[in-house]
Structure 1
Amino acid sequence: MTEARAPQLPTVDDVATRAGVSRQTVSNVLNSPEIVRPETRERVQAAIDVLGYRPHASARRLRTRQSSTIGVRLDPVTGNGVSGSVFDRFLHALVEHADARGMRVTLFTARDDEDELQHYMRLRDGADIDGVVLTGTRYDDPRTAGLAAEGIPFVAFGRPWGAEPLDDPARLWVDVDGRAGVQAATEHLVGRGLRRIGWLGWPAGSGTGDDRRRGWEAAMTAAFGHGAAELRALTTEAEDRVPEARIAIERLLAAGTDLEALVCASDSLGLGAMMAVREAGLPHFPVIGFDNTPVAKAVGLSSVDQRLDEVARATLALLMGEQGTRVLPHGGADRHPRLITPQLIVRRSSHLAPVEEEAGGTTSGDHINGKETQE
């Protein structure tokens, strides 16, 4: 019996022959695609696809000192299972798009910011990562300055609030335009004929929360000419947890209010508000959250979707170039931060109704003081 031979895998030379180019051109397409003319790059990529060629990862790493790996810190569990799912969904999208570019994502944990930076430097020095995607950014985040000082290529998911200027090419970021998303949510309610639209947000001082609140302010001022005092009277604050939001709205109801709807800084706040108004006997009182989490869909909570797939795509485009297959060097004046426009998802206001509302549809609503209106 003749022993069956394993099929021979395609080589760089096979790709070069099929594409009608040199072996070096194929290598350039794989390792430095930006230096190859687009039409040549497309021809080589077509040959790679037809032949099913796959570069040998270990050989490439030894040759280029590149690991084809991106480092991401796995954020600690906060106990917020509602809005906490945003990172999980972003990470899934990032891994999926990175894989399509021949890149891997390695996760690690860290005790604090300094420990996180030390991890990045050790991984970089050992050629275990080529770049970093930074998450959980906040005011005066020391990690952006630390990574920039070390020359480690990185892109942040979220604006580095407090680090001026925000268009610094050494501190690249991709973020969701929270202001635009909340403004669209508020304008949707205004379009339904509602006037007393309240804001349920986080305590002041959160870059993301303050930015989202500005969207509500802009819509209310444009529609009704509200000043600072009137906007404050329509504002309620709570920590980003369901129980705190529920208690805050229960107290608001007990004190008496003429609010007709609520726009919230997150789905955690939105869910807490939704529970409070339902238990108060107002099953159709409009509440809109932010993040479009699975919980929001399950309970029929209208919400602003961050379009995390697009965020992940833009993050890799800044880190590797639009069509690149390797991480670009730190900095670069030709790359600029990106702001992704979110999408409002409108659902029926009845509790536990997971069906999205049809375009142009209306459902009955409730005034907090008991007078019926239209959502």
Structure 2
Amino acid sequence: MSHPATVADVALAAGVSRQTVSNVLNRPEVVRPTTLSRVQAAIDDLGYRPHASARRLRTRQSSTLGVRLEPVHGISGAVLDRFLHALVDSADERGMRILLFTATDVDDELAHIERLVEGSDVDGFVLSSTFHGDPRAAWLGTRDIPFVTFGRPWGLPDMDAAPHPWVDVDGRAGVHDATAHLLARGHRRIGFLGWPSPSGQGDERRRGWQDAMRASGLPEDAGLTCGDDVTAATATVADALRHGEGFDALVCASDTLALGARFALDAAVPVVGYDDTPVAEAVGISSVEQPLVEVASAAVELLMGAGRTVLPASTGHRLLAPRMVWRD
């Protein structure tokens, strides 16, 4: 085809009307599955791409998702950068753009969100770094602003029944598998280095270690805590060793903590981190890897369903499995 494919070209190839093609692009839920598959095949064969600006005028939507660009803390801060790249790719597949903004704290973030909504600059938001007492979900929910969170709604009595969509990675399962693997290799005095509680992600990862230790009938008293800082981690582990604590392996809630622990421990003691950052790869630290491409894809799907516009309201969740990367 010498010219870019049009809706008329797709309709002709699929043997349907142009209105049906429009429904497939904007309201696929009203199209019969067999017709939907036929039209989608024609779109793929012809390489058709909807005219974004025309669709924005027609639907009165911006085709844009807002995401806060958070400050990078510690080595594992690179995870959010990788997630953003994956999110841009997933959004682009639906004809959506990502608008990044910065904020000094949660209140400032909500102020930015309010301005973006009032200006009709975005159709919905992807929130990250959820925490206990996080006010953002309730604030957005009461205003009927579409959003999805990367991170569970910590503190709710039943997170699976949350009134808003969320996607997360099962850190408890990931750390459990890492600990179980170390146990299978004959290690018995396996410690855990995590963050002070309450910490949604940190507490879940600690529980994974506890589950594996209990299942083997071993004590779970070798738990340490400190802030997510390399120097603090080194000092915390070194202090435990000075007070007679002995480890033959150590599992950590982040690669930042794992790197600090590595400096304090004998080289023969296995250390496992979390997030599989470039630093962990460079230093040779085993780590739990989050499936960030799948997280981004699930976040967009929860916001948009099978269509190309943001749903007015949605619920549901995805809890994805991580995988271990062993380097020793």
**TM-score bin, normalised by smaller chain:** over 0.9
Quick check: 1:135–1:156 contact (8 Å CA) kept in 2? yes
Alignment of 1:1-375 (within 5 A): 8-78=3-73, 80=74, 82-226=75-219, 231-232=220-221, 234-277=222-265, 282-321=266-305, 323-331=306-314, 335-348=315-328
Q: Aligned Cα RMSD in Å?
A: 1.5
**Number of residues paired by the alignment?**
327
Q: Is the 8 A contact 2:62 2:123 kept in 1?
A: yes
1:204 partner SS: coil
Q: Distance in 1 between matches of 2:47 and 2:110?
A: 38
Q: CA deviation at 1:164?
A: 4.0
Q: In 2, distance between residues paired with 1:215 and 1:8?
A: 56
The one-letter code sitting in structure 2 at the alignment partner of 1:306 is Q
Partner AA of 1:327 in structure 2 = V
Structure of higher RCO (CA pairs closer than 8 Å, 6+ residues apart)? 2
Q: Is the 8 A contact 2:72 2:78 kept in 1?
A: no
Larger radius of gyration: 1
User: Alpha-carbon deviations, 1:172-215, whole Å to 9, x = none?
Assistant: 11111111011001101100111111111111211111111011
Which ranges of 4 or more aligned residues in structure 1 deviate by more than 6 Å? none
TM-score of the superposition, structure 2-length normalised? Answer: 0.95
Contact 1:9/1:53 (8 A) holds in 2: yes
AA aligned to 2:60 is R
Q: Read off the aligned partner of 1:133 and give its amino acid letter.
A: V
Q: Work out the CA distance in 2 between the residues paired with 1:43 and 1:169.
A: 36
Question: Is the Cα–Cα contact under 8 Å of residues 226 and 236 in structure 2 kept in the other structure?
Answer: yes
1:264-320 CA-partner distances (Å, limit 9, x unpaired) = 11110000001111xxxx222111111111111111101111111111111112111
In the TM superposition, what is the alpha-carbon distance from 1:153 to its structure 2 partner? 0.9
C-alpha distance in 2 between matches for 1:122 and 1:155? 19
What 5-or-longer segments of structure 2 have no aligned partner? none
5+ long unaligned stretches in structure 1: 1-6, 349-375
Letter in 1 for 2:321: T
SS in structure 1 of the partner of residue 159 of structure 2: coil
Q: CA deviation at 1:169?
A: 4.8
| SS, match of residue 100 in structure 2 | strand
1:3-41 alpha-carbon deviations (Å, 9 max, x no partner)? xxxx54332122111111011101101111121122211
TM-score, length-scaled by structure 1? 0.84
Question: Deviation at 1:119?
Answer: 2.2
Identity %: 59
